[in-house]
């Protein structure tokens, strides 16, 4: 069958959902029976039927995002099994797909690359504000050919709605909930004539994020986001279409870290000297034994249900972004010339109390980070237009990111864990090399506890990518074979200058050795696929993909560590996938099944809160830091989906994924205080072995996700003369599983969202009420290893009595009213 080639603008306005989320596509009032076999997607940078695309693809339309009240891209994981988008810290977004995870702080390319209107973008920005979206596609498996940047797990492409030239249209949606959340969004297209049009869209969103209340201030976490977008469309002829978009984003999040535990008395070390309660100098300074003052505590006992935080300081994240995007397509007849390019300027401001579990009551370890950066990207593509026979495509891609992060972090020295105005009555102590109090043991004297120090850190970043690709495609009858290669030139310069101000001052010094400051790689990536249309309703495919990720040098952190903790090696990935896509019962039931195997050589990951020291200097510095590291891994799994319409007014979709992603006996940084060879925090912080950190040999999971996940959604309609009442439901199931890094078994989760409403038969308006997390499950989704200890420099380690956790949000009732025209 030969498909009629359509323009990108027409395709973006016509694409509908597929694979994991097709049921909601049928849910639009007045919709005719649609078939996933005929859905058009752009996963391969061509307009193709979903059934013909030789890879697993999830697609969600803007209508679905509005219907399921998905106001944050992270929530599309409710519609795509095996995809997990999380934010455990309130600051950075972590993406996991097919068991492969990525932490933005590791400084490498992401495991799942995000494209915004076909231009690479960072998840920190594009996940924040979801409104006026045309479609979102989740492409599974290594990506190293069709788009500019390589990624081992997949890609997420986000396309915004574009202006239309044949008449005005638009929508408005207003949502409010009992959890102090609101979302107002809308967009409108206005054509000036049949060649020039404009679309204006905007969003105002507010909520309490994780619904956590701080016991010290009484405040709740809260977030507010404002964004606006203007897109100008120009179509002087049927052969040329261009869109110029400007988007502004301002997000302000104040997030409290939830903790669970009994609390503790980590400080207030009092004793009695001549009948008077006094505070003794620690043994390291000539003092005696300690006895805790139980009136000083890190906080009250807190359970999961309390949703409490004990932070004494703030955790505030602000993001201000300007983004300009240009796209055009020029049909030259035999081929189409396309361009996508963007300029992004972002400024991130972070104010944070690093003592999130209040290990030292009365002391706030502040950290202030300012990260301004700009990214310039461009890609020029030329691709043949023919469907049959030999087709081809070539492209050139360029991207550059620059910016300098500046950090001011409290690194004060606390000689003993008590308030700064405490009085000391030592029998004898050495302070500053001189004997103090030795001749007058009775009279108390004041000894400074906190010596103010501020670490000043400067991290310039300069990364540049050039890549060139070519691909061939041959189609004859039911058989299609395609493949290609991409050659990339990756350059990165990473340096870090650190200095001290305060009680002790020092000029800024470079802490990354000169040989490790510059990284240059020239990888070749790509892939090949074969697709066979056995019948009009059955396609069989096989695919091979190869991707590459550049290593990185750590920014900030300790200088006295070995090279393997400073710079990571590159990562290489090879994957094979076979699948079947088809339809049954006159296309009333569509199905898709895929099996895959993937080998990662030197998988890049990040390991948080690792204790480090310098064995060569036992009295030297120690601390806790997040280290990047490589290790080999293997992934295998199966993904399947069934999309059915049993009756004209009932849609049902069930999709599931099983992925076994494991380290291959990899030697990885860990906390092994007890010297057992497994992660633990038993006893005082210590390093097992001769290195700067402990290492554990791991053959367990790559990510904090279960092997199995399932999503289901359904809608039942009850048509009447003028309106259509409906009931819509969304289920996300996660079984119980064990996570080795936390040494914790997470409980199973069955999160159900229920929607009941009515809409007009012409689809012009809709009113619904909903309940998210209908059964109010309270499940921990992330937890720290053991009790959280302070990262401040004190005489000893002082446990807070708490573990930090992330918990599913409580049940939330709300209502939405929307209009379309």
Domain match, 725 and 623 both:
yes
Q: How confident is the model at residue 88 (pLDDT cuts 50, 70, 90)?
A: low
Summarize the confidence of residues 765-778 as an average pLDDT: 96
- Residue 153 contacts residue 111 (beta carbons within 8 Å): yes
H/E element, 25: helix 23-26
Residue 592 has pLDDT above 60, yes or no: yes
Q: Is residue 503 part of a domain?
A: yes
Query: How many whole angstroms separate alpha carbon 714 and alpha carbon 53?
Result: 25
- Whether residue 427 is found in the same domain as residue 482: no
pLDDT(36) > 60:
no
pLDDT computed for residue 294 by the predictor: 61
Q: 352 and 209: one domain?
A: yes
What is the tens place of the pLDDT at every residue in 474-526? Answer: 999 999 999 999 999 999 998 999 898 887 788 888 888 888 889 999 999 99
Reported as a pLDDT band with limits 50, 70 and 90, residue 793 is: low
Q: Is the pLDDT of residue 445 over 80?
A: no
- The pLDDT, as a whole number, for residue 234 is 97
How does residue 425 score in pLDDT terms, banded at 50, 70 and 90? very low
> Where does the pLDDT of residue 415 fall: very low under 50, low under 70, confident under 90, or very high at 90 and above?
low
- CA 341 – CA 119 distance, rounded (Å): 6
Both 445 and 456 in one domain: the answer is: no
**Per the domain annotation, does 722 fall within a domain?**
yes
C-beta separation of 113 from 143 below 8 A: yes
Q: Which pLDDT band, with edges at 50, 70 and 90, does 791 fall under? A: low
On whether residue 90 sits in a domain, the answer given is yes
One domain for residues 460 and 514? yes
Verify that 441 and 572 share a domain, yes or no.
no
Do both 446 and 546 map to the same domain? no
Number of separate domains in the chain: 2
Find the mean pLDDT for residues 64-89: 80
- Are residues 209 and 179 located together in one domain of the fold? yes
Q: How far apart are CA 30 and CA 34, in angstroms?
A: 11
Q: Which residue would you say has higher pLDDT here, 428 or 678?
A: 678
459 and 505, same domain (yes or no)? yes
DSSP H or E run through 65: helix 62-67
Residue 778: band (very low, low, confident or very high) from pLDDT cuts 50, 70, 90: very high
One domain for residues 486 and 586: yes
The model's pLDDT over 740-750, given as tens digits with 9 standing for 90+, comes to 989 999 999 99
Q: What would the 3-class secondary structure string for 685-744 be?
A: CCCCCCCCCEEEEECCECCCCCCEEEEEEEEEECCCCCEEEEEEEEEEEECCEEECCCCE
Supply the range of the domain harboring residue 67.
8-264+307-384+407-412+452-469+477-820
69-94 mean pLDDT: 77
Instruction: Write b or e for each residue in 450-459: b if 16 or more Cβ atoms lie within 10 A of its Cβ, otherwise e.
Output: beebbbbbbb
What's residue 276's pLDDT?
36
Q: Which of 25-29, 128-132, 592-596, 720-724 has the lowest mean pLDDT?
A: 25-29
What pLDDT is attached to residue 20? 37
642: tokens are 């069934």
The DSSP string of 625-694 is EEEEEEEEEEEEEEEEEEEEEEETTEEEEEEEEEEEEEESSEEEEE-BTT-SSS-B--SS----SSSSSE
Instruction: Give yes or no for residue 753 having a pLDDT over 60.
Output: yes
pLDDT at 80: 85
d(CA 374, CA 81): 34
pLDDT computed for residue 214 by the predictor: 96
Decide if pLDDT at 638 tops 90. Answer: yes
Judged by average pLDDT, the poorest of 113-122, 219-228, 327-336 is: 113-122
Query: According to the model, what pLDDT value does residue 690 have?
Result: 84
Task: State residue 674 phi and psi, 5-degree precision.
Answer: -85, -5
> What pLDDT sits at residue 602?
96
Nearest in space to 3 (alpha carbons), one of 60, 46, 56, 35: 46
pLDDT at 38: 62
Question: Is residue 429 very low, low, confident or very high in pLDDT (cuts 50, 70, 90)?
Answer: very low
Closest to 197 (Cα-Cα) out of 222, 230, 170, 234:
234
- Residue 542 and residue 439 in one domain: no
Residue 125 within any structural domain of the chain: yes
Non-local (6+) Cβ contacts of 34 within 8 A are 16, 22, 25, 26
Average pLDDT over residues 367-381: 95
In a domain, 190, yes or no: yes
Structure tokens at 624: 């806790």
Question: Looking at the domain assignment, is residue 510 inside a domain?
Answer: yes
In a domain, 280, yes or no: no
In this structure, is residue 700 part of a structural domain?
A: yes
pLDDT of the residue at 101 = 87
What is the rounded CA–CA span in Å between residue 712 and residue 708?
A: 14
User: How confident is the prediction for the chain on average, in pLDDT?
Assistant: 84
Question: What does the pLDDT read at residue 270?
Answer: 36
Give the model's pLDDT for residue 724: 97
Q: Report which of residues 50 and 316 the model is more confident about.
A: 316
| Nearest CA-CA partner of 23 in 786, 588, 775 | 588
Q: Quote the percentage of the chain above a pLDDT of 70.
A: 84
Q: What is the CATH number of the domain that holds 363?
A: 2.40.170.20
Shared-domain flag, residues 510 and 442: no
């Amino acid at each position: 069958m030969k498909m009629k080639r359509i323009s990108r603008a027409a395709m973006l306005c016509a694409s509908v959902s597929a694979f994991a989320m097709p049921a909601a596509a049928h849910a639009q009032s007045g919709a005719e029976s649609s078939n996933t076999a005929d859905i058009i997607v752009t996963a391969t940078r061509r307009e193709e039927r979903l059934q013909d695309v030789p890879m697993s693809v999830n697609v969600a339309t803007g209508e679905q995002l509005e219907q399921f009240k998905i106001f944050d891209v992270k929530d599309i994981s409710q519609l795509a099994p095996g995809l997990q988008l999380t934010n455990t810290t309130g600051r950075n977004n972590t993406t996991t797909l097919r068991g492969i995870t990525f932490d933005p702080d590791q400084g490498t390319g992401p495991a799942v690359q995000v494209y915004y209107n076909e231009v690479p973008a960072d998840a920190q920005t594009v996940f924040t504000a979801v409104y006026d979206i045309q479609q979102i596609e989740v492409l599974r498996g290594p990506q190293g050919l069709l788009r500019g940047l390589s990624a081992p797990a997949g890609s997420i492409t986000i396309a915004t709605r574009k202006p239309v030239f044949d008449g005005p249209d638009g929508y408005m949606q207003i949502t409010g909930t009992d959890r102090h959340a609101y979302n107002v969004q809308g967009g409108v297209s206005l054509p000036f004539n049949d060649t020039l049009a404009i679309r204006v869209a905007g969003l105002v969103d507010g909520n309490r994020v994780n619904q956590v209340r701080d016991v010290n201030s009484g405040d709740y976490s809260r977030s507010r986001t404002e964004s606006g977008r203007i897109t100008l469309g120009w179509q002087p002829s049927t052969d040329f279409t261009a869109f110029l978009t400007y988007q502004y984003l301002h997000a302000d999040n104040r997030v409290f870290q939830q903790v669970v535990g009994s609390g503790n008395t980590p400080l207030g070390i009092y004793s009695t000297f001549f009948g008077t309660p006094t505070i003794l100098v620690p043994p390291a300074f000539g003092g005696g034994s300690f006895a805790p003052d139980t009136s000083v505590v890190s906080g009250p006992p807190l359970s999961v249900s309390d949703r409490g935080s004990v932070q004494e300081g703030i955790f505030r994240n602000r993001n201000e972004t300007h983004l300009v995007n240009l796209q055009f397509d020029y049909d030259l007849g035999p081929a189409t010339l396309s361009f996508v390019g963007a300029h992004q300027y972002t400024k991130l401001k972070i104010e944070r109390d690093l003592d999130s579990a209040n290990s030292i009551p009365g002391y706030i370890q502040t950290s202030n980070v300012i990260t301004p950066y700009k990214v310039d990207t461009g890609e020029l593509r030329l691709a043949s237009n023919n469907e049959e026979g030999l087709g081809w495509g070539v492209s050139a891609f360029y991207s550059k990111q620059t910016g300098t992060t500046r950090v001011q972090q409290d690194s004060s020295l606390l000689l003993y864990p008590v308030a700064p105005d405490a009085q000391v009555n030592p029998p004898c102590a050495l302070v500053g090399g001189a004997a103090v109090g030795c001749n007058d043991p009775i009279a108390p004297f004041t000894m400074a506890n906190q010596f103010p120090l501020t670490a000043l850190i400067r991290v310039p970043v300069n990364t540049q990518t050039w890549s060139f690709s070519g691909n061939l495609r041959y189609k004859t009858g039911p058989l299609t074979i395609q493949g290609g290669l991409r050659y990339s030139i990756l350059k990165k310069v990473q340096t870090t200058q650190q200095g001290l101000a305060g009680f002790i001052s020092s000029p800024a010094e470079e802490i990354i050795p000169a040989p490790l400051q510059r990284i240059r790689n020239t990888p070749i990536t790509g892939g090949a696929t074969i697709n066979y249309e056995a019948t009009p309703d059955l396609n069989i495919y096989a695919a091979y993909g190869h991707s590459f990720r550049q290593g990185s040098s750590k920014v900030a952190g300790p200088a006295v560590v070995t090279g393997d903790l400073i710079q990571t090696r590159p990562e290489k990935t090879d994957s094979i996938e076979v699948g079947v896509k088809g339809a049954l019962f006159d296309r009333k039931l569509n199905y898709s099944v895929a099996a895959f195997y993937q080998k990662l050589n030197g998988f890049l990951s990040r390991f948080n809160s690792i204790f480090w020291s310098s064995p060569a200097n036992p009295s030297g510095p120690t601390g806790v830091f997040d280290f990047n590291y490589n290790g080999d891994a293997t992934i295998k799994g199966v993904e399947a989906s069934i999309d059915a319409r049993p009756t004209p007014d009932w849609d049902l979709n069930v999709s599931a994924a099983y992925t076994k992603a494991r380290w291959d006996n990899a030697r990885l940084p860990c906390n092994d205080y007890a010297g057992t060879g497994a992660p633990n925090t038993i006893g005082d912080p210590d390093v097992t072995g001769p290195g700067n950190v402990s290492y554990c040999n791991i053959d367990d999971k790559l990510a904090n996700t279960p092997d199995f996940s399932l999503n289901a959604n359904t809608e039942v309609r009850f048509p009447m003369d003028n309106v259509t009442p409906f009931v819509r439901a969304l289920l996300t199931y996660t079984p119980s599983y064990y996570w080795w890094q936390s040494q914790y078994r997470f409980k199973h989760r069955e999160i159900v969202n229920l929607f009941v409403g009515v809409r007009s038969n012409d689809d012009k308006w809709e009113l619904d009420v909903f309940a998210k997390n209908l059964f109010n499950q309270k499940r921990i989704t992330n937890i720290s290893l053991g009790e959280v200890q302070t990262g401040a420099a004190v005489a000893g380690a002082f446990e807070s009595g708490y573990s930090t956790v992330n918990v599913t949000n409580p049940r939330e009732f709300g209502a939405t009213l929307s209009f379309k025209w």
